[in-house]
Each structure stands twice: as C-alpha cells, then as structure tokens.
Amino acid sequence: MEKRQELYAGKAKSVFATDDPDYLVLHFRDDTSAFDGERMESLARKGMVNNRFNAFIMEKLAEAGIPTHFEKRLSDTESLVKRLEMIPVECVVRNVAAGSLVKRLGVTEGQSLTPPTFELFLKNDAQHDPMINESLAETFGWATPEQLAEMKTLTFRVNEVLKRLFAEGGLLLVDYKLEFGLFKGEIVLGDEFSPDGCRLWDAETREKLDKDRFRQGLGGVIEAYEEVGRRIGIGFD
C-alpha cells in the first residue's frame, strides 16, 4: 500500500490517501489541543505513544468482535485504516462523573454512575461540540435511528471490554468518546482510542492519568499516558 496525498489535517492527526481508495493512513502528530482547539501545544513522543496505544486497544476490540477501521501499524506514528464515511456524532459513555457532566448537572466529580450513561455530541468545533440527541441527529440527517442504535450497542460493548482491561492494570475507565463511520454500509469504529479521548484514573489514588493533565496544566502528560500503557501491557521502547 502506497501513501499518497494529505487529505485532511485535524488537530492531532493527519489523514493521507493511499493507492487503494478503501484505505487511509492516519499520522498521529505530537500536537495536542484542548477547549475545541483554543489551546494547542506540541508534546514530544505523543504521536508515537498514541499510535501504539490506539493499535493495542483497537486489536483488543477486534478480538472481542467489535468492527474497527484498524488494519495495522505502519511505523511509530502511522497506521493503516479503512476509509470510512465518518458520522459527525461523538458517542460518550461515562462510568464515573467528571468533565462536562459535572459542569452541566452540578453533580459530584468521582460519583459512580450506575448504570453508565450514554450521550451524543455533534462533532463541530465552531459550535463547541454541542450535546445533541437521537431526534436532532435524525432530523438533521447526521445519523439514522438504526445507525444510532448500533453505535450505542457497540459503545457499551467497548465499555465491557475496556473497563475490564484497564481494571487489570489498576485503572478506572471514567469516560470515553468514540467516533463511528460507514464502510460499505456497515457501522465501524473509527478515529482513535487513547488517553486523549478518555479519562483514566488510578483505581486507588484516583490520580488523573489522561488528557485532563494537559487541560488542567498538571504536567507529566505523556509520562502518564506511558504509565497507563505499561500497566496494560503496551511497550513503548
């Protein structure tokens, strides 16, 4: 597979065409953004760490029968993926209250959520990724009710697999965001799963080991990502 022209440069990854119209190369950059791109910084090693992290998680999910876009890691910072027609809806599951849920509802950070919650957000930086629902998604044509139902089922299946995986490393999967797309008509998990798009706390101390370290200026961002990786069996050399 040959890498061709750059199609899109997002906030953290760049997307390249290949000589096969069904496949893309995702390049994980060191760029890190927060607050819908208002704050940007380059964090050394982040591209490599997230590329390896994502490859490991996507393989675990595929083993559990979840359809993903991931094909293989091509280099330290690049992976080959299926080219999806992305659905502009972010699916968020929460096991513990944190982030925007705490701000919006005034609930206590750290409160356990039973059953876990499911939320939809529109992927739209200009509008600050507003919260939406099934009705709005259907009316505006962002996703059909059938697609949304499948996305919800898959997002909760991911929770079962990853809650257990992180728990074995002494980590609490607090919340995470998934993006899906269509590949030949089928709903497939796309984008990435890394500490950039989820919250992970030490199960004992509740120390934050994810992108909140960057958002909150706590430092040691990539060191925390690597610590999480090591605890679940990822080697970063």
Q: Which positions lie near ligand ADP, rule CB under 6 A?
A: 10-13, 15, 24, 69, 81-84, 86, 179, 181, 190-191
Q: Residue 11 or residue 73: which is nearer to ligand UDP going by CB?
A: 11
SS3 51: helix
Query: Residue 198, interface with ligand UDP (CB under 6 A)?
Result: yes
SS3 145: helix
Q: Which stretch binds ligand UDP (CB under 6 A): 6-14, 43-51, 79-87, 96-104?
A: 96-104
Query: Residue 10, interface with ligand UDP (CB under 6 A)?
Result: no
> Which of ligand UDP, ligand ADP, none interacts with 199 (beta carbon under 5 to 8 A by kind)?
ligand UDP
The answer to whether 178 touches 155, Cβ cutoff 8 Å, is yes
Q: Residue 212 corresponds to which amino acid?
A: D
Query: Residue 197, interface with ligand UDP (CB under 6 A)?
Result: yes
Q: Which residue, among 210, 233, 230, has the nearest Cα to 222 in the 3D structure?
A: 210
Selected from 89, 92, 151, 171, the binder of ligand UDP by CB under 6 A is 92
Touching ligand UDP, residues 122-181 (CB under 6 A): 129, 175-177
Q: Residue 43 or residue 74: which is nearer to ligand UDP going by CB?
A: 43
SS3 195: coil
Q: Residue 171 corresponds to which amino acid?
A: L
Residues 6+ apart with CB under 8 A from 164: none
> Which of ligand UDP, ligand ADP, none interacts with 211 (beta carbon under 5 to 8 A by kind)?
ligand UDP
| Peptide linkage before 115 cis (omega within 30 of 0) | yes
For residue 54, the surrounding DSSP H or E stretch is: helix 46-63
Give the residue nearest to ligand UDP (CB): 99
